[in-house]
Structure 1
């Protein structure tokens, strides 16, 4: 037995090596550190006793078949770019990584689809699509590490949701390994296929609790011929929404991103060697991008639209070239990393109806301020799809009162008809708060599906739902 490997998990290593090969079963100290914690860090740090890396969907199904027979719990991992510790392993869990499922099938430019293995990174798939003049409609800051399987399992969003929608909108078909080891093809790549239930939808966003995505057929889009953007300052959320409405109405189908940054979050860029699109000091900043197909007319239409709402713009900068637009995005994309330096902090990724957002944040500040007078809220996000990121800095040097902060934030979100999880899912971190967003009947239905598809509860045990909910 390898030193440091619990007997309960380690005893399966020889049999698993017979399925995937000895080189792809790692134990104890052989397991790389990146398999024990989310890429961005979290309170939860796991123990990866045994790591199995199947190279084909059939091998992965074989691993699950073996684990089902022996009642061995499994945690599924992709790129580990989540924020809710969904892939963080417990000491008695087998770590099942999809990182070797890296095949990309032949892209069909006429139909605009491509099939990718679960371990293909989003950036690699984007590069493949670009070679054919197409784009993957999903785009994430972590695209170099985030995998297609992970995007599907969490129904990933990103910066282009306002224009293209969530991952769910782009999945034509899935290949999924069930908890008992059956490998099933769900739906087809057809645009119209209404032959019974659309079963793939059960697995999109289920965070690996119902089955393991091994491959996905993704619908692509033609690459835009024009891109333009504006970095604007506005006085409040109402001003930002007026700009959003104008862009949607005047440039139908062209708006692909609408990012909003509050003043305190923007100020984290002040000390950096970075070209800022606008000076600090304004209440709210907006980064809007539009894409189109008319090189002779799109830029002019965009400028005309901005001129029509100049009364709500306190300041603005316009980009009509890729280089200029790159400066805008560089500023926006640096914000999360700089905020993460302000430890300890409590990060939240939530959805709130845009019209309720101002009130929600004011409630949050008041309730948090009553307990922590020095509290700061650093807020930024994708206002066009109701998703905001909130970093709470209480001023304390400890995280011991984390639950108090979470109850306040999620309580405010719930009262404003929002969701505790806009992206990344529920995992371990948000599992105690699922009832803030889902009704008892909805949670009971989730439990029923879990019992049906994974009766022994071996897949991602304790994520999304309490482990006890998986038992009958």
Structure 2
């Protein structure tokens, strides 16, 4: 770390170059730059910097690298693991001013964007040209593509389109010493040496600051069909998933499952929420979405699929979307977790994002629910992207302040390890999951990660203390 006098000189120089809109210092730093959605307490950075160009990001990193000032890149601040929370005495580097669509190539089906562009803006820009950017998260209106790339976000349609890294062709990156890597490849096939962009996708801003990206687009779906199905047990969930894969094939775009405890919270406790179908004595609600090419052909295929489910007795009850509004209502039940922080619903809680073998997800949910209640006094609910093995857990101890994060984490991640899962499916490691990384990565893997970090960031200034010490 540099001394206080040198730090003041550095900030004065950066403030002069960035202007008043680009630099907040001390008590003038807005609260939003002090933490993310992890519920960690606000940090006390010495500055929040808001560059408007790659050149300004480069200048910031060059100064901070030379004087060993810690820098924490920030996107939409919707992460749950503390990855975008700055260090006390460090600098928050927000890319929110670097927002916009720079180019859209309809023939090549690519879009070039600035890293601070909100995901929803990208989705709408693609749709306006008859194209489709399939990455979709509940926080679509707040999260930015830079943060999505930094954490390799997954979201609702991984089963068909893959993770964020599968949707990125090229990136522009600023290294910790200020070096700019203009790797804005627009080709699907490019095997000219190492695919360096993969170093930065999912690295949580510890190896470089992503400033631009070339995104891979898809044709706009010709039709979207959705259904909510209630099933009697998890064996039926697996049977419906197998049937959907076989009968819908690559048209299956989402397979979301909500356990009964989650369904109750979402449809009974969230203000304004309406249950499109009744759970009754069912165990799970399944949201199935298919994106087809032609309603007359693929709509009939979807109807045939649903009829088969009923004939085989795989579902107890269900509802079929008759309009886009119906589809939005179905998804609202799945996205209702964003409202759980409301004190009228759940209030302060602990969120977990884990990856599990699909066959063992219900076993995990039952074991975790019992252990959280018995050992930490926590209630819990379960939902997630079962089609790609990603489960979300919301746990809370009513009236507790703070929530028992350490105990709940020990319980949840211990069971995750026991069923051969991963402690992070799509939100990264950040600072909250650091102690549990060895449960999902071997010692040799973590050692290689450290060596990559040391090679690219020898002064340890870029998002230090995240992923590992």
TM-score category (smaller protein):
over 0.9
Picking from 33, 36, 43, the partner of 1:35 is 33
- Aligned pairs for 1:126-145 within 5 A: 126-145=123-142
- Mapping of residues 52-131 of structure 1, within 5 Å: 52-131=49-128
- The 5 Å alignment of 1:392-407 reads 392-395=395-398, 397-399=400-402, 401-407=404-410
* Corresponding position: 1:359 with 2:358: no
Post-superposition offset of 1:256:
0.8
Separation in structure 2 between the aligned mates of residue 411 and residue 240 of structure 1, nearest angstrom: 25
Q: Identify if the C-alpha distance between structure 1 residues 93 and 294 changes in structure 2 by more than 3 Å, giving closer, same or farther.
A: same
Distance change in 2, residues 1:451/1:322 (3 Å): same
> Does 1:267 find its partner at 2:269?
no
1:381 to 376, 380, 384: 384
Instruction: Give the counterpart of 1:250 among 235, 247, 264.
Output: 247
Residue 21 of structure 1 and its aligned partner are, at CA, apart by 2.7
Compute the RMSD of aligned alpha carbons.
1.8
Residues 418-437 of structure 1: CA deviation (Å, up to 9, x unaligned): 11111111101111111111
Post-superposition offset of 1:399:
3.5
Alignment of 1:68-467 (within 5 A): 68-186=65-183, 188-268=185-265, 269-271=267-269, 272-281=271-280, 282-310=282-310, 311-338=313-340, 341=343, 342-372=346-376, 375-395=378-398, 397-399=400-402, 401-466=404-469
Q: 1:273 to 1:72 in 2, by over 3 A?
A: closer
The 2-side partners of 1:307 and 1:172 are apart by: 40
Q: Distance in 2 between matches of 1:462 and 1:10?
A: 23
For residue 193 of structure 2, give the secondary structure of its aligned residue in structure 1: coil
- Secondary structure of the equivalent of 1:159? coil
The TM-score normalised by the length of structure 1 is 0.93
Single out whichever of 453-462 and 29-38 deviates more from structure 2.
29-38
Instruction: Please say if residues 299 and 320 of structure 1, whose CA atoms lie closer than 8 Å, have aligned partners that are also in contact.
Output: no
Q: What CA distance in whole angstroms lies between the structure 1 residues aligned with 2:276 and 2:341?
A: 19
Partner of 2:102, secondary structure, is coil
> Number of residue pairs matched?
460
Kindly indicate whether the alpha-carbon contact (under 8 Å) linking 2:70 and 2:87 is maintained by their aligned counterparts in 1: no
Asked whether the equivalents of residues 210 and 454 of structure 1 are also in contact (C-alpha less than 8 Å), the reply is yes
Report the Cα distance in structure 2 between the residues aligned to 1:9 and 1:304, rounded to whole angstroms: 67
**Following the alignment from structure 1 to structure 2, what is the Cα–Cα distance between the partners of residues 11 and 160?**
48
2: CA distance, partners of 1:52 / 1:394: 37
For 2:72, what is the secondary structure of its paired residue?
Answer: strand
Alpha-carbon distance in 1 for matches of 2:378, 2:172: 47
Question: C-alpha displacement at 1:41, in angstroms?
Answer: 4.9
**Structure 2: how far apart are the matches of 1:267 and 1:62?**
51
Q: Give the Cα–Cα distance (whole angstroms) in 1 for the partners of residues 59 and 365 of structure 2.
A: 49
Work out the CA distance in 2 between the residues paired with 1:344 and 1:324: 30
Tell whether the 8 Å contact from 2:234 to 2:283 is kept in structure 1 after alignment: no
Cα shift at 1:211: 0.5
TM-aligned CA deviation for residue 13 of structure 1: 1.5
Secondary structure of 1:12's aligned partner: helix
Alignment check: 8 A CA contact 2:361 2:391 kept: no
Query: For 1:241-291, what per-residue CA distance to the aligned partner results, in whole angstroms no more than 9, with x for missing partners?
Result: 211111111111111111111111111121433321112442110111101
CA contact (8 A) 2:172 2:212 kept: yes
Relative to the length of structure 2, the TM-score reads: 0.94
Cα distance change of structure 1 residues 369 and 12 upon mapping to structure 2, 3 Å threshold: same
What SS does the corresponding residue of 2:174 show, helix, strand or coil? Answer: strand
Greater shift in the superposed pair: 226-235 or 295-304 = 295-304
**Higher mean C-alpha displacement, 184-193 vs 432-441:** 184-193
**Alpha-carbon deviation of 1:185?**
2.1
Deviations along 1:402-446, one digit per CA (max 9) or x if unpaired, are 212211110100111111111111101111111111111111010
1:139 Cα offset (Å)? 0.8
Residue by residue over 1:357-393, the C-alpha shift from the partner in whole angstroms, topping out at 9 and shown as x without a partner, is 1222232234334325x64220011111111111123
SS at match of 2:212: strand
Query: Per-residue deviation at 1:8?
Result: 6.5
Greater shift, 106-115 or 90-99, is seen at 90-99
Structure 1 unpaired stretches of 5+: 1-5, 467-472
- Whether the aligned pair in 1 keeps the contact of 2:230 and 2:317 (CA below 8 Å) is yes
Q: Give the whole-Å Cα distance in 1 for the aligned partners of 2:235 and 2:199.
A: 37
